[in-house]
Chain A
Amino acid sequence: EAGVAQSPRYKIIEKRQSVAFWCNPISGHATLYWYQQILGQGPKLLIQFQNNGVVDDSQLPKDRFSAERLKGVDSTLKIQPAKLEDSAVYLCASSSRVVEKLFFGSGTQLSVL
C-alpha cells in the first residue's frame, strides 16, 4: 500500500515570495491534515479536512496561508507571502477516519531567506 506522498521535498524561497506544497494521501483515507513542524518542536496542526470539507483551521494563519482539497483526495497548501518565521517542515498526514491513526508523508522542508 502506497504511503502519503508529498512534494517537493525541499524548497528555498525569499521572504514575500509565494510557495505551494502538494499532498496525496493514502488511498481511501477520508481525513487529511497539514502540520507545521518548526525545528526542535513537535508538529502543530494547521488544518484538518474531512473529505473536501474543513474540520479545523483554527491554527491556520489565514492572512497568508490557504489550503484546499477540492475533490476530497489531493490537497495543496499555499503560503503567500512567506515570512522568515515560516521556515519549517510541512507535514501532510492522513487517516481513514478522524479518530484513527495518522500516517505521515516525508514532509516538505521550507527555508525562507
Chain B
Amino acid sequence: GQQLNQSPQSMFIQEGEDVSMNCTSSSIFNTWLWYKQDPGEGPVLLIALYKAGELTSNGRLTAQFGITRKDSFLNISASIPSDVGIYFCAGLVTTSGTYKYIFGTGTRLKVLA
C-alpha cells in the first residue's frame, strides 16, 4: 500500500535552533497537510499545501510542496519549548476515484531549554 516515510523519526534540539523534517513517498500526492500532535490530544493542522513547488508559512513554520509531488518539507525556525510534540505529514491520494489522506509515521521533536 501507499506509505509516507518521515525523517528524522525523532530529534533533540536546543531552544533557538532551526528544525527541518521531511516526508517522502514513491506515490504522487495532490495535497500535503502538516499536523502537530501533543500527548493525549488529536492532531492540530499547521499548514496546508495544494500545488507543486508551493511554499507556505505560518509564523515560525514554513512548509514546501515538493516539485515532484512525492515529497514535502517542514521547517521550524528559532524553536521554543512549546514546539515539543509529534509532527505528522499527510498526503492526499486518489485510489479508484476515491480521495483519502495517508499519514506519515511522525517526527518526534524534543526541545532542550
Contact = CB atoms under 8 A, between A and B. Distances in A.
Interface of A: 4, 6, 33, 35, 41-45, 48, 55-56, 91, 93, 98-99, 101-107, 109
A103 B44 CA distance: 7
B42 A45 contact: no
Interface residues of B, number: 25
Interface in B24-83: 30-31, 33, 35, 40-45, 48
B109 to A, nearest CB: 15
Contacts of B40: 106, 109
Contacts of B30: 99
Contact of A45 (B35, B41, B43, B101): B101
Interface of B: 4, 6, 30-31, 33, 35, 40-45, 48, 88, 90, 92, 98-106
B56 to A, nearest CB: 12
Contacts of B42: 4, 6, 91, 93, 104-107
Contacts of B35: 104
A101 B41 contact: no
B31 A43 contact: no
A101 B88 contact: no
A99 B31 contact: yes
B13 to A, nearest CB: 20
B98 A55 contact: yes
A35 B90 CA distance: 13
28 contacts: A33-B101, A35-B103, A41-B106, A42-B88, A42-B105, A42-B106, A43-B43, A43-B88, A44-B103, A45-B101, A45-B102, A55-B100, A56-B98, A91-B42, A91-B43, A93-B42, A99-B92, A99-B99, A102-B45, A103-B45, A104-B42, A104-B43, A104-B44, A105-B42, A106-B41, A107-B41, A107-B42, A109-B40
